[in-house]
């Protein structure tokens, strides 16, 4: 293999590796009109969030009519009671982005009168640094998040480690 091909392959593998680790901008609900009163429990944004994984550095993005609604970041207590009077942060621009800057739970409710009580709210859990992330995938259960660490029951971690070792051998073998 000539030097150009080696460098091209090395660059490709490096950027492939980076794509596994970079932070993501995640559209809330996976669509632009998701920030609304859900039509049913199965349409709830929390159902979507339960199936997703979020990591430190990711950003949540909301698209909505800023003239009619807003996004409030609130405490757990305000989330449970739909209290809009003492929010941590308030966003009204219709194109809201919130960076997830720490692990743990984040709580969001609609600022429009009566919307939270009708289910327009979102609770996401950001994984700690010790968890690996490769994109949006099924989230751990609340017991896994709040309870003691549980040993992995699948070989997914081993497969990823094997991939990274193989990648390293290939890259080093090119030089």
We find that the CATH architecture of domain 23-154 is Sandwich (2.60)
Q: How far, CA to CA in Å, does 66 sit from each of 8, 35, 95, 96, 123?
A: 46, 11, 8, 9, 21
Q: Which of these, 47, 51, 60, lies nearest to 99 by C-alpha position?
A: 60
Structure confidence at residue 175 (pLDDT): 54
Residue 172: pLDDT band (50, 70, 90) is low
Interatomic CA distance for residues 72 and 140, integer angstroms: 25
- Strand 121-127 relative to strand 54-55: parallel, antiparallel, unpaired? parallel
Average pLDDT over residues 23-45: 91
Structure confidence at residue 146 (pLDDT): 43
- The percentage of the chain sitting over the pLDDT mark of 90, rounded to a whole number, equals 55
Structure confidence at residue 56 (pLDDT): 96
| Local structure of 161: helix, strand or coil | helix
Structure confidence at residue 129 (pLDDT): 74
Q: Which of these, 137, 166, 169, lies nearest to 154 by C-alpha position?
A: 137
Structure confidence at residue 173 (pLDDT): 59
Structure confidence at residue 81 (pLDDT): 98
Identify the bridge partners of residue 127 per DSSP, sorted by sequence position. Answer: 55
Asked if residues 54 and 23 have their Cβ atoms less than 8 Å apart, the reply is no
Task: Tell me the helices (H) and strands (E) count for the chain, helix number first.
Answer: 5, 8
The better pLDDT of the pair 4, 95 is held by 95
Q: How far, CA to CA in Å, does 54 sit from each of 69, 90, 92, 128?
A: 24, 21, 23, 9
User: pLDDT per residue over 115-161, tens digit each?
Assistant: 999 999 999 999 987 655 455 544 444 444 443 333 333 334 444 54
Interatomic CA distance for residues 94 and 161, integer angstroms: 41
Residue 1: pLDDT band (50, 70, 90) is low
The better pLDDT of the pair 128, 14 is held by 128
pTM strictly above 0.75: no
Identify the bridge partners of residue 141 per DSSP, sorted by sequence position. Answer: none
Within a 10 A sphere around the Cβ of 150, how many other Cβ atoms? 10
């Amino acid at each position: 293999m000539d030097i150009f091909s080696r460098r091209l392959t090395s660059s490709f593998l490096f950027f492939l590796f980076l794509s596994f680790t970079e932070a993501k901008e995640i559209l809330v609900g996976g669509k632009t009109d998701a920030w609304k009163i859900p039509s049913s429990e199965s349409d709830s944004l929390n159902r979507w969030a339960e199936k997703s994984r979020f990591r430190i550095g990711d950003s949540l993005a909301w698209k909505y009519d800023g003239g009619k609604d807003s996004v409030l970041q609130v405490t757990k207590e305000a989330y449970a009671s739909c209290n809009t009077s003492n929010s941590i942060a308030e966003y009204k621009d219709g194109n809201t982005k919130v960076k997830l800057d720490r692990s743990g739970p984040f709580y969001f409710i609609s600022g429009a009168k009566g919307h939270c009580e009708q289910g327009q709210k979102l609770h996401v859990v950001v994984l700690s640094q010790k968890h690996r992330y490769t994109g949006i995938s099924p989230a751990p259960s609340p017991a896994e998040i709040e309870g003691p660490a549980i040993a992995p029951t699948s070989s997914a971690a081993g497969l990823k480690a094997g991939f990274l070792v193989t990648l390293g051998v290939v890259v080093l073998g090119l030089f």
